[in-house]
Every structure is written in structure tokens, then in C-alpha cells.
Structure 1
């Protein structure tokens, strides 16, 4: 069979493209290298509990907000979304001080102005920028850190408004204001958790794909894109299967995607060198905690805890300097949470010694390092949850190596290709490729995160719409 569309990778971007194209009446197949679809959205099950990997909260789901219309189109608003505390959806602790980030642009500014009265006007300018996000051509070349330090008088406020951005890579030298602003704005509009696992999103999209006649194939790892007369005609997999198609969409990292075409005459040397030279953002270390029953009241916000005011640089320093805490919404309606995730950035240099290993076969030294990192994360988290160590029933950990092996992302990068304000046209990629019927989607193109990948998927679909 020759499919109208072959989609490689079943992350959010691939599934959105698959759903929309299948509902247009096109024959669609989605190829996934793992035994289960979902990419960074998939959850895993241990001891009768589901644990999320990449999804913790999402912003902008109310009517008129940034993700509402897209999620309504995708049928995702019907899922059990739980609104976080409008008075402080994020609680930022730096040293001994804690600051709430409140929902709504005006309330966000007014709440922080109570702590930083000399910066009230600057906060109003800041939220005005978030509310009316400048187009990419205006702010992709603006350095986010320079913008913040020039805007705010109090250096601590720079760290406070940046602290919840652990969901992106804060890099003083290169992070564009475009990336920073888009990564924060929708959460200020409104913030939500799923009452359940990220698999709810995955399964909803898959159900719609299959209802429209689309096919999901797992354990289908692509290792070659076959080119003929200047077009891709088939994707070949490790299992020996070949999938022929008219259009191809890759939701896989661009560096890996183009490695499947080593002899292509359409990918010139300069293009290959450009893609190969792109740097990737750091990965994350995650500690998933199972909490003893009836010991930790559910907290309806995220907690970000930093040892000191070094939010932009702590990943470069020794030890665990910052951690994010996210609690699972109790599905039984009770007041206590049973699951808490702790996340902290982890440079690839901390994993490099085991780069040639696979999951479950990394050795004792690796396990010792993970145990120490987990202990350090828990100790830092105890600044806001005293006695957390004694509340833990069991714990599970993952590193950038885990992400690399499950998602095929170079160095286990959490946010894809690193965007650079000094060369935005080089680091922000188009869905189009030099191959006329091969398109890209996913977090490495322009924006990452649930909102960014959703926007990018619709951008990919619009590009395909104009394809002859």
C-alpha cells in the first residue's frame, strides 16, 4: 500500500499532524520506534501507578487564550483539566524567600510589585510584552537575559520572573526573548494539570486517528528514507518493513532525520554541516516519588526551589542548585497526593561516561550517581516540604540517557535544538526541507513545550496545504 502520508515519530507533533490529515480523508500511517506511542507525553507504569515523563502542566486553555482554539480543534479540551491556584500557580523560593506567580497579566504584575515596589512600572511593561507577544522577526534577535536586566532595577526580580522557566534552557549568552516570552506567557494566562497521566492526550489523538482510518505502527524504527527522482518514496525500518508514501513528516530530531539519507543528492554539504553543527539544549534528571498515603497534602501549584539567586547559571555549577516540584492531582478526590515529581537540569557531561550503554545495563557507578542526585534533589525540596525524605514510599529516577534511549534525542536534550539570538535563522528551522515531499515538525523547529509543539504542528500542516 502507498500511504498518502507517512509520519515518523508519535510524539505530540506527529500525532497532531496524523489526526488532522486523517480527518481530511488522507491515508495516514504513524511509525513509532518504541513499543508504545506518545514520545515525551507517554507515561510509564510501576507498582500499579502511572508516571509522567515530559508533561507536568500546560497554560492558556481558557476561551480566548493561546491554546484554547487549537485544543478545541483537537478534541483535547474534553480531557479532565484541573486549574492551578490563580493566586500562585507557581511558588518561587530563592534562598529563604518565596514569591507567588499569580494568574492573569495584571495580577501577575501587582503581586510581584508588592515585593518589588520600585519595579512596578517595569513589571507593567513586562506583562504588556507577554500579553502582546512581539512577532518572531522583532524579538528573535533580542537576548532575553539582557532584556530582563535592562528592564528591572532589582537583580533578584530578574531571577524571580525567570525561575519558573526551568521548562526551558536559560542560557544568558544565547536565549532569544522570543523563546523566553512564549515559554512563560500562556502559563500567566492560566495554568492547568491533567487529572490523570499524559497518556490521556496520547490516547485521545490516537483514537481520532484510528477512527478516521489512520494506522499506528509501534516497534517500527526507521533507519532509512529511500529517495527516488528527487523525492522520498519509502521509509525502511529495522524490522524489515517498508512503508511507501507520497508525503513524509518527521517528528524526530532533525539531525537524526537527515542521517537516514546519507546519499541524498538534495541535501548539499553546506546544509548537512549546518544541521550537524546545531547545539542541543540540556537534559533533565527526574525523581518520581511515591508518597505514603495520607502524609502529604496535595499542593495546587508548582514549587521551584533554588539555593540562591543564580537561576540562570546554576546548571553550570556543582551540585543540585535548583529543583522543580510537581504534584499529581489526586484522582480519588481526597486531600492528599501520592505522587510528586522532582526535576533538575543535568548536563550531558554528567552522563557521558555511560553514553555507550543502554537502559538497565549502565552499571553500579551510574546507579550510585543517580541515587546521590536523587538524595540531593529531595534535600533541596525539603526547604519547602520539611520531612519529605520520611514521606517517601519508593522512588524512580531517569536521566538524559533515559530520554536519549526512549526518544532518540541527541544527548537526551529536553527542549531540542538550542535557539540562539545571535543567529536565529540558523537555529530556528522551517517545516520545509530541501526534499520537496519531506516535512519536519516537533520541538526542535521554532518553539518547544506543549504549546510550542502544537503551534509547530499546525505550521507544518499549513506548509503541507500549500504543497503541490
Structure 2
């Protein structure tokens, strides 16, 4: 990687005559790295400042005891060739040299009595399975599977060009894709999943359909379920070798190969503004760096009300951050993650992902739980390298309240760690009942709370995916992209990118970086350029780089270990 002071002199206000435009990007998450890549390809000089020691933001992983705790990707849209999402990943080098794991099912849901439903990605197989479970629900089952089959033929990935800059040809192609299926898209977008699920006679199906996405996101319509399951059926929602941090490292490698520079442990404290124009940033410690344009790809509220002191707002920004942000359910829920490293194999014939519905009593034991369910993913099935040879890694998650974790950590670190221990113990108790003897084989337990997510990524309320899609915030954020061109009122030389303008999902985060540079190229009169990476070196775990050893918390021997070794715990 180039030295942090490589390239132009960023400490001077004016760039030399004829030198390329300079762009500073705040945040080395997927959106920030994508912004840097596209700006470099388009002939600009860029520098990214990142407060952490790793790229990726929430798209990250950490390691302990030989286990790799992969935090983000469950499926990645764009893993199959022949669509615009895949084109973006190739331009960013995200999939260079990697194999892709695809699964025949999206998720399995098991109720408290042990009955289960498996959401196969193949519409015909899913229909046969569901009809065998509940013949009385044949009409609803056939309707869902018929729509799923229709979605498998839909190629709709509008991630290359922001709406105002689309050419007549691009608009015509989009219309050709949408018009024949307009009624399908409109109907499935207008039908809430809860309303659809409530039509089933079988109580298992009523609950299971809500949890296709592992837990119930609440408020989602049918459309995203059908879209993502269809993508998985078309092998376009697979899991890339190297996982979450591997994806971030590949994009980082692409960025630095294009001449970009990432400065880690570089926390931006203020965006410098002169005469209504962003001219650079000030880091913690006082160092100032100047540029012709600044792109913030970090937390939206921090950007608007922290780095810019709330001086550049308008009706849309104020509506998002002063009204909607404070409403329950405005953000995608925060998550508690419990990783469990186990000696030997686990799960046998179980699928890679299962949502277990819990009784009220069981759910009450999970600290801060928002729903009566626990997701158990056999992460060592996703890719090699997540567990040492002969061992297994499980990732157990549940939606959780953010403020109770945040407030407790601020009030008492000891009580906060005890609460994390309760989460670990509850999950280990559950796993022991599911897989008798697993406690005695447990080697490592690691817990990340919503407060952890906020500490390491800066995301408001510990939300990994920011604004909840298909909501009022979704509509307002879409106008920020299409009407405001990702800018703030009264501030020139500045753009926003990332999930706080493009909403959740890695492909959408990456596309906001592309959009930001497309807008900037138009403003500067420069041609936008992008081409696929040509790096074909096979992926290997060494490309993850050095992983930091994060804070440890004591995890005394779990009572279900039957005298086994004390599990080691970590991450605050």
C-alpha cells in the first residue's frame, strides 16, 4: 500500500495549475472505497480517511483463536455474471480470484414444536414442499411460487447511473424491463408481507413467511422477498470467498492499485468550509487536508450535525434526521451477534441458516430481544477459513434494542459485560438443547452488541443497514439521490454517499459511490470512466491482512460445558 503521504500535497489550499482535481473521502466502508475507485478511474486524485484500522465499515470480520468472525454478508446481490450489479463488483475488483458459494435454500424456519418449513429458492421445489406441509393453503402457496417464478425472469439492477443522468437508451432499457412486469412489481410492492402471511391457515406458515429474511424486518412488502429469492435461484445472491472483510480488502486493493491512498486511524472531526464551499477536512489532532471536493461516506447524522455542525440542512435533511430518525422502526434493527467456535462438526444435515421461533419465556432470556426468534447460521459452511481444520463456527443473531445496550455500557461497564455474558449463556443453553454435547466442545464465544457496532463503525443506533427500506425514509432518501444529487443545501464542493442516502445492502452502498462520481464528473466537465479489474490472482486468506485483537471480556465456563474447557470471549 502506498505510504500515507504519497501523491500530491494535501496540506496546501490550492492545487498546482493543470493538476487533477483532488477528492477527499471520509470513511473506508464499501461506499467510500467505491467512491475512491471510480474517482481514480475518472482521472481524479483521491485520499480516504478512516478512523478504524480496517476497511469495510460494517462489512468486516475479526479473529480469535483461529476462528474468523465474519460479521456482515449473508448473501451478495451480483455474484452471477450478466447483470449490472455484477459489473459494479467487477469494476471494483470485489470478486477477483474468488469462488462463490450458492445454497439451494434461502432459510429454514423451525417453530417451538419442532415443525419446520424450508424456503427453497427453486419455485417448483418450494411449491411441492409447502403443499405437503399445508394442502389447505394451496391457493396462497401457488400464488407466491408463481410470482417467484416470474421474478426469476426479471433482470432489474439499476445500479450504474443515477436517474437524472440516464441516457435515453438507459431509460428505454429500464422501461423494457419494467413495463411487461409493471403490474407484478406494483402489486408485490403494495402487498405487505404481514398481510400476505396472515392469509395462511397453517400457523407455522403465517410465522415462517415473515422470517424468510432470517428475522422479521416488519413493514416489508412481498417484493424484496421475491426479488432476493429469485436472485439466489439464479445464483446471483451467493457468498463470496473471503466473506465480508475479504470483499472490503479486495476493493481496497483495487483502490490502491489505481493510485488511491487510505489513511487509517485518521478520524475526521470537521469538514472545512469557506464561502459556502467544502475545501477539506480537519483530523483529530488538528491536521488539515485540502481538496476540491469532499465526499462523506460515513454515518449520515454524524456528517450533517457533527462534521458540519448542522449548518447545511433543508426540508428533506431535517425530515430525515429531526423527525423520522427518532421514530420507532425508522432504522433497520440493531443486532446482537454471538459467535461460537466448536471443536468438531456441528449440524449434520441441517441447512446453513435456520431461524428458530422461541416461546415468550425463551425470548425473554435474550437481553434486549425485539422478537421471539433466534437465527443460527453454520458459518463454517459458507466458506473455508472461518474455522480451523476439523472445527466449526456458528453465528447466532437476534434483533435487539440499541439504547438499553448503549445506556448500560455508559453507566456500568461491569453490568454491560454481564449482560453480554447472559446473551452468550442463553445462546449456549439453546445450542446445547439443539446439539447435545456442544457445550463440552465449545472453544471460543464472542459477543458483539449494538453498542459494539456503533463504537467500531459510527453507525447511528448500531444499525447495520441504516434506514429501513420501503418506508417513509426510503422515499425521502431517494429524493436526496435523484433531486438533490447527493448534495446538501447551500454547500458546494460536497457530496454524501453510502447507506444513509442509498439505503442498505452492499450493492446499493457501492452504487452510491458510482453515483457520486458520475455527478462530480458532470460538474467538473470530466468524462466518467470505469472498467473491470484484471486481477486474477486466486483469493487466499493471507489477503485479509493483519486482524487486530480487540478488547476481551471474561467468559467463565458455561454451565452446559459438562466440565469442558472454559470458552474464551472477546469484543466489547
Q: Into which bin does the TM-score normalised by the smaller protein fall?
A: 0.7 to 0.9
Structure 1 residue 318: Cα displacement: 7.1
Structure 1 SS opposite 2:426: helix
CA RMSD, Structure 1 to Structure 2 (Å): 3.5
d(CA) in 2 for partners of 1:196, 1:299:
23
Structure 1 residue 383: Cα displacement: 5.7
Q: Which moved more, 1:146-155 or 1:132-141?
A: 132-141
Cα pair distance change 1:377/1:459, threshold 3 Å: farther
Correspondence 1:47 to 2:47:
no
Structure 1 residue 73: Cα displacement: 2.6
Q: TM-score by structure 2 length?
A: 0.70
Residue 205 of structure 2 is matched in structure 1 by: 157
Per-residue displacement from partner, 1:221-276 (whole Å, max 9, x unpaired)?
11111122222111111132222122222211211111211263x42477435423
Structure 1 residue 11: Cα displacement: 0.9
Which of residues 217, 223, 231 in structure 1 aligns to 2:277? 231
Per-residue displacement from partner, 1:255-308 (whole Å, max 9, x unpaired)?
1111211263x4247743542333233211111111114566596622222226
Which of residues 495, 515, 525 in structure 2 aligns to 1:459? 515
d(CA) in 2 for partners of 1:269, 1:331:
48
Q: Which moved more, 1:392-401 or 1:48-57?
A: 48-57
Structure 2 SS opposite 1:40: coil
Q: Is the 8 A contact 2:335 2:450 kept in 1?
A: yes
Residue 38 of structure 1 is matched in structure 2 by: 56
Which of residues 426, 432, 439 in structure 2 aligns to 1:389? 439
- Segments of structure 1 that go 5 or more residues without pairing to the other structure are none
Residue 301 of structure 1 is matched in structure 2 by: 352
Which of residues 26, 32, 35 in structure 2 aligns to 1:14? 32
Residue 217 of structure 2 is matched in structure 1 by: 170
d(CA) in 2 for partners of 1:216, 1:298:
44
Residue 168 of structure 2 is matched in structure 1 by: none
- Equivalent positions of 1:55-94 (< 5 A) are 55-64=73-82, 67-86=85-104, 88-94=105-111
d(CA) in 2 for partners of 1:210, 1:203:
10
Residue 121 of structure 1 is matched in structure 2 by: 142
Structure 2 SS opposite 1:226: strand
Structure 1 residue 29: Cα displacement: 0.7
d(CA) in 2 for partners of 1:337, 1:267:
52
Per-residue displacement from partner, 1:286-338 (whole Å, max 9, x unpaired)?
111111145665966222222269xxx99986786322323223449998543
Structure 1 residue 394: Cα displacement: 1.6
Q: Is the 8 A contact 1:4 1:27 kept in 2?
A: yes
- Segments of structure 2 that go 5 or more residues without pairing to the other structure are 1-9, 16-20, 157-177, 326-330, 525-572
Q: Is the 8 A contact 1:7 1:31 kept in 2?
A: yes
Residue 333 of structure 2 is matched in structure 1 by: 282
d(CA) in 1 for partners of 2:241, 2:469:
32
Per-residue displacement from partner, 1:403-431 (whole Å, max 9, x unpaired)?
00000111211221234535642354634
Cα pair distance change 1:334/1:370, threshold 3 Å: closer
Higher-Rg member (1/2):
2
Cα pair distance change 1:467/1:148, threshold 3 Å: farther
Q: Which moved more, 1:47-56 or 1:293-302?
A: 293-302
Per-residue displacement from partner, 1:377-423 (whole Å, max 9, x unpaired)?
23334565444323311211110000000001112112212345356
Q: Is the 8 A contact 2:367 2:422 kept in 1?
A: no
How many residues are treated as equivalent by the alignment? 456
Residue 398 of structure 1 is matched in structure 2 by: 448
Structure 2 SS opposite 1:39: coil
Residue 206 of structure 1 is matched in structure 2 by: 252
Cα pair distance change 1:319/1:303, threshold 3 Å: closer
Q: Is the 8 A contact 1:43 1:53 kept in 2?
A: yes
Cα pair distance change 1:391/1:296, threshold 3 Å: farther
d(CA) in 2 for partners of 1:229, 1:140:
48
Residue 378 of structure 2 is matched in structure 1 by: 326
Cα pair distance change 1:111/1:39, threshold 3 Å: same
Cα pair distance change 1:321/1:122, threshold 3 Å: same
d(CA) in 2 for partners of 1:335, 1:106:
37
Q: TM-score by structure 1 length?
A: 0.84
